[in-house]
Amino acid sequence: MITIDTISKKYGKAEVLNVPSIEIPTGQSFGLVGNNGAGKTTLFNILLDLIRPTTGAITNNNIVVNQSEDWKTFTGSFIDESFLIGYLTPEEYFDFIGDLRGMNKADVTKFLNQFDEFFNGEIVGKKKYLRDLSKGNQKKAGIVAAMMGNPKVVILDEPFANLDPTTQIRLKILIKELIKNKEVTVLISSHDLTHVTEVCERIVVLDKGNVVKDIQTSTETLKELESYFSV
């Protein structure tokens, strides 16, 4: 269970986020959508204790995220390429993250084997540093690293951006596999309404930092979202 309680964020007098209350049950696939500047990344950054809220607190499985680091042992995330270590190769990076997650080299190799199609021969074994990969391939590496070590919570900010159509489809399959056992809570922000409605059972819409919709996904959700954003 993730609980967002009276979270706000101000920069000077400008308030960029004001979320009274959101509860995300364990195992839920949760989507966050909104236009640029809506506060999506700000909320995820607070959830990951990358920035501190002006008011309120977020609890991740009974741990207040800005009071303890214990939540980090079961939370995987990828916000952007700043999460990577550019001077490492993908293999070195995966070994590093695996070690943090209690995985040995054999565990890491076995884990990575299931992503051969997703990597499409462009990540592992190329003798390139992460900084020299394309934006899309950097994102692939970051997303897979976020899934290492059997996390209970996975947080992905704009995971479909910069990916080609084939990889977007493969990513949707990976996310659906991740959430099908209802033990992993997945939070996704996206500008792509079609993709997010396909993989998320619940979608919250932010507008200028405020929650304006909280929808249980149905066959009508995409039309509802398109209608909202077309006004």
pLDDT, tens digit, 9 for 90 and up, residues 161-198:
999 999 999 999 999 999 887 889 999 999 999 999 99
CA dist., res. 144 & res. 165, Å (int): 18
Residues 6+ apart with CB under 8 A from 93: 84, 85, 130, 141, 145
The sign of the torsion formed by the CA atoms of 38, 44, 45, 47 equals positive
Which tokens go with 162?
């910069």
pLDDT computed for residue 181 by the predictor? 78
| pLDDT > 80? residue 99 | yes
pLDDT computed for residue 191 by the predictor? 92
Mean pLDDT across the stretch 143-167? 95
| pLDDT > 80? residue 231 | no
CATH number of 2-229: 3.40.50.300
Phi, psi of 126 (to 5 degrees): -100, -5
Which tokens go with 79?
């916000």
CA dist., res. 95 & res. 202, Å (int): 34
What percentage of the chain exceeds 70 in pLDDT? 100
Mean pLDDT of the chain: 95
155 forms beta bridges with 77, 187
pLDDT digits (tens, 9 = 90+) for 23-56: 999 999 999 999 998 999 999 999 999 999 999 9
pLDDT computed for residue 27 by the predictor? 94
pLDDT computed for residue 115 by the predictor? 95
Q: Taking Cα atoms as reference points, which of 78, 77, 37, 42 lies closest to residue 60?
A: 77
What percentage of the chain exceeds 90 in pLDDT? 94
Query: How many CA atoms, within 13 angstroms, populate the side-chain half-sphere of residue 64?
Result: 8
| pLDDT > 80? residue 217 | yes
pLDDT computed for residue 185 by the predictor? 96
Are 207 and 193 a contacting pair, CB within 8 Å?
no
Q: Which residue type sits at 146?
A: A
pLDDT computed for residue 128 by the predictor? 94
Are 225 and 205 a contacting pair, CB within 8 Å?
yes
Mean pLDDT across the stretch 140-146? 97
pLDDT computed for residue 75 by the predictor? 97
pLDDT computed for residue 97 by the predictor? 96
Are 186 and 30 a contacting pair, CB within 8 Å?
yes
